[in-house]
Amino acid sequence: MKLLLCIAGGETSRDTIVAGGKIAAAFNTDLSVLYVGEKHATHMTSAVNLSRMKLSEWKIELPGVKVLEYAEMVLHDLNLLEVDDTGEIVEVHSLKPDINGAYELHAMGKHGQNIRLRLREGEIIDEVIKEVDVGGYDVTIIGASKERRLVQRLIQFVECSLFITKNIQDIDYRFLFAVDETEMSRKALLLGARTAHFLKAEATLLTVVSNDSDIKSGEENLSKAESILQRAGIKYDKKVMVGDPTEIIIEEAGEDHIVVMGSSKSSQLSKFFKATKAVKVVQDGNCPVLIAK
Amino acid sequence: MIRIILYWIDTHRWFITAILSCVVLANVPTPEGLSENGMDVIAILVMSTIILITAQVPLPTVPLLIAVFQVLLDVNTPKGVSQSFMSDSVFFIMGSLMLAVAIVHQKLDRRIAYWILHFAKGSITRLSTGFILVCAIMASFIGGLTVAAIMLPVAITIVINIDENQKNIRNITLMLMFSIAYGCAIASIGTPSGGARNAVMIDYWSRLYDIKISYFEWIKYAYPMVLIQIPVVAFLLRITFKPEKINIGNALDKLRESVKAEGKMNYADWLTVSIFLFILFLWVTSSDTLGLGIPAFIGVSAYLAFGLISWEEINRGVNWGVVLLYGSAISLGIAMQNTGAASWIANALLSGFTSLHLGGGLLLMVIMAVITMLVANIMSNGPAVAVLGPIFLEVAVLSDMSVILVGFIIAMASSFTYMTVIGSPANTIVYGSNFIKPKDFFKAGWKMSIASIIILTLISATYWQFLQ
């Protein structure tokens, strides 16, 4: 598994870096930390490049590098990075430009994983989409935007599973699996169950049906889901509820659950014009959300 | 596949809107008093403005589309369009950008840092004033882009030397950063080589109204404005970002000794300065015969011949798309004039102003200055002059005002880009340091905007009348 962790800044993203670092450590997986710097208008590019040339002559680091340095320090504190006898972090290469469209510092993880710190410039969503395309990541970890359109674009166009770290806190989260009959829901269960297993978290299985007559089919969905959690050795409880799925998921999740759900089965065209359940949960809820694709 | 198409539509929605607007406007019934070709040019203007503001495609797409649509909509022939793209002013812009790259590649910044630190004498106000002075004087001749690129590392080094933790000296940091940005802004109108848009204005005067303004004449009109604004910037920055009360003397002394130790100006530095002074001499004394572009080309040739810069470095540093952009701006300006589009819009604007009892005289000039300033802050200074220039110059003709004075008003007001990051290349460079937030531009920017409009009004009502 390959993880992409997108951060919005240094100290302000500490909790996100810690959460991503813990997941990477639990899965013992490759991790790339991506920071997207401000986009410059095309006609300003040469000016910015000239300025950077002068900054490097004065040995002043590129804007954005400090953010990567901070992320590296946090990952080091989490004991994720390999160090040599002198205590220095072992680097495959130091910061280099133009590595798959980004500046990159490549370090080694404690167990031989690749830990990459990457710096791109541009519109955040566009750059994340490009990064996922070149990096072949399985899960992207990213903070939530206040703008619904950005969340919608992210969920529709990023081609891997997403862990949106809304209101992430340093607490022991429970997992809330929002289950339905779809294949995406099953994928979400598998991904969420692995994550919950590694993080030693407990879970709630939730299915929401539109009226009382559907309760039986809801229970069938839950029983299929139960076997997955049982195999993963996760303690869980289960609920079948009637009503609006989005509202109920948000209410049940509160602030101390990580919601796990599949991406919508709607057509691309429909997702383009209409917010899906996942978008609404991210937008209106106040907890992290894992969306499987 | 559909995901890729939808993603493209999503990321290019304003570009699509721009193209559709152009096609629709070119096909709707033409309003009374406007020729069909005039309407076509307005359609191209609307399209270009939308693309410039929304920037969803690389900006050099705009000049390419201006050329393409002029031919497709039968506004001009392919030969006519290509001829309208090139002029002495475009040579001048090209040459100035190459000169800027050549100068940035030298090591003059250490000496400049030394002079500023020497001038500061341990005082933050003097330090800020030193930055403003150096930026204003240099940027008026070699452009704000170059000067901001040279001065930013100097400012950052000073800030880091005073205190590694910027939170402790946030106001001092902002004061120095804005000394560069605003110093460059007020200077960019000092001479024709201060900003490419000045060359565009010279071209509009020359090709639309047959008025020749030499390098020296421009200085006569514009330089007093630069000199008056230097203390104003220093004062407004001082009262906006009240510097933290800490002793910076030791840090500055230490840094001064460190840059001094890196040596005096060498042969290459002296040669760089000498060649530039020679070009300046040619601009001031011979722009009537040599134009503005040829002296710049002489300078670039000399830099290349003496090995002060390589062609590869020039090629990497010059944004040729900007040259195309200004070429297209001039081309569109000529098309607006030739088709009567400029005159039609000017008439509409003027009747609007008159109905609001704002028509004519100084008040109209102030309104044009304010509109130019606001547009420049939104779409950056060069494109603002390109879009508004032909229209406001025509307003001047229709309301019996001096085309020269209105031209200067537009050029000067376009430099009042104090409030946004994208207003000028210098703002973008300084913002790129990550020491400034976008809202910081507004803190001092609104005060500077008002002060500059007042100074411009006073100068146009007094000093410029004397020159006429």
Q: What is the CATH number of the domain that holds A124?
A: 3.40.50.620
Helix (H, G, I), strand (E, B) or coil at A285: coil
C-alpha A3/C-alpha A141 separation (Å) is: 7
Residue B23 lies in a domain: yes
Report ipTM (2 d.p.). Answer: 0.73
CATH number for position A267: 3.40.50.12370
Task: Looking at the structure, tell me whether residues B18 and B111 fall in a common domain.
Answer: no
The answer to the question of residue A148 being in a domain is: no
Identify the pLDDT of residue A293: 85
Last residue of a domain, one of B44, B63, B84: B84
Q: A19 and A128: one domain?
A: yes
In contact, A19 and A201? CB cutoff 8 Å: no
Apex A56 CA angle, A51 and A57, nearest 5: 95
How many Cα atoms are found within 13 Å in the side-chain-facing hemisphere of B149? 29
B28 and B177 inside one domain: no
Q: Which residues in chain B are closer than 8 Å to A64, comparing Cβ atoms?
A: 434
Crossing angle of helices B403-413 and B438-461, in 10° steps, is 160
- Chain A residues within 8 A of B59 when measuring between CB atoms: 41-43
Same domain, B103 and B151: yes
DSSP string, A121-168: ES-HHHHHHHHHHHHT-SEEEEPPPS-HHHHHHHHHH--SEEEE-TT-
Give the end of a domain, one of A118, A142, A166. Answer: A142
> Which among A43, A51, A267 has the least Cβ separation from residue B149?
A51
Cβ atoms < 10 Å from Cβ of A48: 21
Based on the fold, state whether residues B211 and B113 are members of the same structural domain.
Answer: yes
A42 and B59 within 8 Å at the Cβ level: the answer is: yes
Tally the domains of chain B.
2
In a domain, B436, yes or no: no
Do the beta carbons of residue B185 and residue B416 sit within 8 Å? yes
Tokens of A217: 């089919």
Q: Do B428 and A41 touch (CB under 8 A)?
A: yes
Q: Report yes or no on A162 lying in a domain.
A: no
Range of the domain at A283: 174-292
Q: Report which secondary-structure segment, H or E, holds B348.
A: helix B341-355
Shortest Cα–Cα distance, A110 to chain B (Å) = 32
Nearest residue on chain B to A122, alpha-carbon basis: B56
In a domain, B329, yes or no: no
Residues B152, B223 within the same domain: yes
Look at residues A142, A161, A186 and tell me which one is the last residue of a structural domain.
A142
Closest to A62 (Cα-Cα) out of B177, B156, B159, B316:
B156
Contacts made by residues B305-313, CB under 8 angstroms, sequence distance 24+: B306/B271, B306/B275, B308/B102, B308/B105, B308/B106, B308/B268, B308/B271, B308/B272, B308/B275, B309/B101, B309/B102, B309/B105, B313/B101, B313/B105
In this structure, is residue A161 part of a structural domain? no
Residues 303-362 of B with CB under 8 A from A: 316-319, 321-322, 325
For CA atoms A266, A272, A276, A281, give the dihedral sign. Answer: positive
Q: Of all residues in chain A, what percent carry a pLDDT higher than 70?
A: 99
Assess whether A183 and A130 both reside in one domain: no
Residue A241 vs residues A33, A160, A214, A281: alpha-carbon distances, Å: 39, 29, 10, 17
Same domain for B165 and B229: yes
Could you report the per-residue pLDDT of A30-78, keeping only the tens digit for each? 999 999 987 776 667 777 777 788 787 777 777 788 888 889 999 998 8
- Answer yes or no: do B209 and B240 share one domain: yes
Say whether B153 and A54 touch across the interface (CB within 8 A). yes
CA distance B151 to B158: 11
Determine the pLDDT at residue A194: 87
For residue A151, being part of any structural domain is answered with no
The residues, any chain, with a CB within 8 Å of residue B316's CB and separated by 6 or more, are: A49
What is chain B's pLDDT, residue by residue, as a tens digit (468 residues)?
788 888 889 889 999 999 999 999 999 999 988 999 999 999 999 999 899 888 888 888 999 999 999 999 999 999 999 999 998 989 999 999 899 888 888 877 788 888 888 888 888 999 999 999 999 999 999 888 888 988 888 888 888 888 877 778 899 999 999 999 999 999 999 999 998 899 999 999 998 899 999 999 999 999 999 999 999 999 999 999 998 888 888 878 877 777 777 667 788 888 998 999 999 999 999 888 898 999 999 999 999 999 999 999 999 888 888 889 889 988 998 999 899 999 999 888 888 877 777 666 788 889 999 999 999 998 788 888 988 999 999 999 988 889 999 999 999 999 999 998 888 888 888 888 878 888 899 999 999 999 999 999 999 999 998 887
**A135 and A49 fall within a common domain:** yes
In a domain, B130, yes or no: yes
**Cα–Cα nearest to B225, from B401, B369, B334, B323:** B369
Tokens of A95: 């910061």
Q: Do both A188 and A277 map to the same domain?
A: yes
**Within its chain, how far is the Cα of A232 from the centroid?**
22
- B122 torsion bin: left (phi>0), alpha (psi -120 to 50), beta (else): left
B208 within some domain: yes
The answer, for B206 touching chain A at a CB cutoff of 8 Å, is: no
**Does residue B155 sit in the same domain as residue B199?**
yes
Q: What pLDDT, on the 0 to 100 scale, is given for residue B257?
A: 78
pLDDT of residue B360: 66
Q: Do residues B102 and B218 both lie within one domain?
A: yes
Looking at B288, B317, B346, the residue that finishes a domain is B317
Query: Measuring CA to CA, how many Å separate B391 from each of A58, B133, B363, B407?
Result: 45, 34, 17, 11
Where does a domain end: A142, A162, A189? A142
Spell out which residues of chain A touch residue B380, defining contact as CB-CB under 8 Å: 41, 43
At A43 the pLDDT is 67
Closest residue in A to B58 (Cα–Cα): A42
Both tokens assigned to A162: 């997403």
Q: Which of A38, A54, A58 sits opposite B104 (nearest CB)?
A: A54
Please name the residues in contact with A229: beta carbons below 8 A apart, sequence gap of 6 or more.
A177, A189, A193, A196, A203, A205, A236
- Asked whether residue B181 falls in the same domain as residue B199, the answer is yes
Considering only the beta carbons, identify the residue of A45, A54, A269 that sits closest to B150.
Answer: A54
Chain A window 98-157: which residues touch B at a Cβ cutoff of 8 Å? 126, 129, 153, 156-157
B33, B58, B84 - which closes a domain:
B84
Indicate the number of domains in chain A.
2
Task: Report the pLDDT value the prediction gives residue A42, as an integer from 0 to 100.
Answer: 67
Instruction: Provide long-range contacts, Cβ within 8 A and 24+ apart, for A268-272.
Output: A268/A156, A268/B2, A268/B3, A268/B6, A269/B2, A269/B6, A271/A152, A271/A155, A271/A156, A272/A156, A272/B6, A272/B10
Give the helix ranges, DSSP H, for B163-214: 170-187, 196-209
H or E, element range at A242 = strand A236-242
Residue of A nearest to B52 (CA): A41
Domain containing B294 equals 89-317
Residue A242: which residues within 8 A CB-CB, separation 6 or more? A208, A209, A210, A211, A212, A214, A215
Q: Give yes or no: residues B72 and B155 share one domain.
A: no
Question: Which A positions 258-277 lie with beta carbon below 8 A of chain B?
Answer: 267-269, 272
Find residue A34's DSSP bridge partners. A6, A118
Give how far B357 is from chain A: nearest CA, Å. 39
User: Quick one: tokens of B371?
Assistant: 């509109």
pLDDT per residue as tens digits for the range A143-174: 877 777 778 888 888 889 999 988 877 788 89
Tens digit of each residue's pLDDT, chain A (293 residues)? 899 999 887 777 888 888 888 888 888 889 999 999 877 766 677 777 777 887 877 777 777 888 888 899 999 988 888 888 888 888 888 888 888 888 899 999 888 889 999 999 888 888 999 999 898 899 999 887 777 777 888 888 888 999 998 887 778 889 999 988 888 888 889 989 988 888 888 999 899 888 878 888 888 888 888 888 888 888 989 888 888 889 999 998 888 899 999 887 777 787 788 778 888 898 888 899 999 98
**CB distance from A204 to chain B under 8 Å?**
no
Residues B65 and B136 in one domain: no
Q: Which of A11, A264, A51 is nearest to B101 (CA)?
A: A51
- Chain A contacts in chain B segment 9-38 (CB below 8 A): 10-11
**A284 and A182 housed in the same domain:** yes
**Cβ within 8 Å of residue B270, ≥6 positions away:** none
Q: Is A278 found in the same domain as A198?
A: yes
